[in-house]
């Protein structure tokens, strides 16, 4: 039986998705008893990620200098999070549960990629984001919860479709989102939280 291993496919993600993925890793690893002494301090990784988010926002106008800075920030984030991935791999020693508790992905053997339950992309207009979840059989509606990262109060939205656009968000801020289907049996369990930098 093959051990699970941490995969670093996040380095291939588009920049904004990579930022959200890495921010989730920091959230999952913070105060996680399995990872008491990371090779890269989480505060250092967070600083690199915050610099990347600022660079993403600054490069939105397409300026050559800003794009170059964003590219440099991506390299720094990739380096730090690859080191964190190696650390998690070493500590987990093939334990799938420990790997998944870190926010990183794992792989035991080649498999067909599965679709994410909830994905978030940039909306058409600045300050908006488009949410999409896998359609649930027999769902009459979907309940979307959104909050500013670091706050406790969720804002609730409802729709009859498995996609939804939230507007009038703070540009440059990071939001957390989760979704649940509403079926004849009631509100189903919420998805995992997904984070997104609003541009």
Q: Where are the domains of the chain?
A: 5-107, 118-197
**Cα-flanking dihedrals φ and ψ of residue 197, to 5°?**
-80, 130
Read off the DSSP letter of residue 102: T
Considering the entire predicted model, what is its pTM? 0.60
CA distance 136 to 181: 7
Nearest to 35 by CA among 88, 96, 112: 88
Q: End-to-end alpha-carbon separation of the chain, Å?
A: 44
- Contacts of residue 134, defined as CB under 8 A and 6 or more positions apart, other chains included, come to 115, 117, 162
**Phi and psi angles of residue 147, each rounded to the nearest 5 degrees, phi first:** -150, 155
**Residue 94 and residue 28: Cα distance in Å, rounded?**
18
Element holding 148 (H helix, E strand): strand 141-148
> What is the helix (H) or strand (E) element at residue 159, kind and residue range?
strand 155-159
> In the CATH scheme, what architecture does the domain 118-197 have?
Sandwich (2.60)
pLDDT tens for the chain, 199 residues: list them: 467 889 888 888 888 889 989 999 999 999 999 999 999 999 999 999 999 999 998 988 888 899 999 999 999 999 999 999 999 999 999 898 999 999 998 875 444 444 568 999 999 999 999 999 999 888 899 999 999 999 999 999 999 999 999 999 999 999 999 999 998 888 889 999 999 999 9
């Amino acid at each position: 039986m093959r051990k699970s291993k941490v995969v670093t496919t996040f380095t291939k993600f588009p920049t904004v998705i990579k930022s959200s993925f890495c921010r989730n890793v920091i959230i999952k690893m913070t105060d996680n008893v399995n990872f008491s002494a990371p090779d890269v301090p989480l505060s250092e990784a967070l600083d690199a990620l915050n610099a990347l988010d600022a660079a993403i926002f600054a490069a939105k106008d397409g300026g050559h200098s800003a794009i170059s800075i964003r590219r440099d920030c991506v390299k720094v984030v990739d380096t730090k999070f690859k080191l964190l991935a190696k650390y998690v791999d070493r500590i987990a020693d093939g334990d799938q549960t420990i790997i998944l508790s870190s926010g990183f992905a794992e792989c035991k053997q080649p498999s067909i990629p599965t679709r994410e339950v909830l994905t978030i992309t940039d909306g058409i207009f600045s300050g908006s984001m488009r949410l999409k979840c896998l359609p649930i059989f027999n769902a009459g509606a979907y309940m979307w919860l959104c909050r500013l990262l670091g706050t406790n109060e969720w804002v609730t939205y409802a729709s009859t479709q498995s996609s939804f656009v939230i507007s009038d968000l703070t540009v440059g801020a990071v939001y957390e989102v989760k979704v649940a289907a509403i079926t004849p049996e009631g509100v189903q369990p919420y998805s995992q939280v997904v984070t997104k930098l609003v541009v």
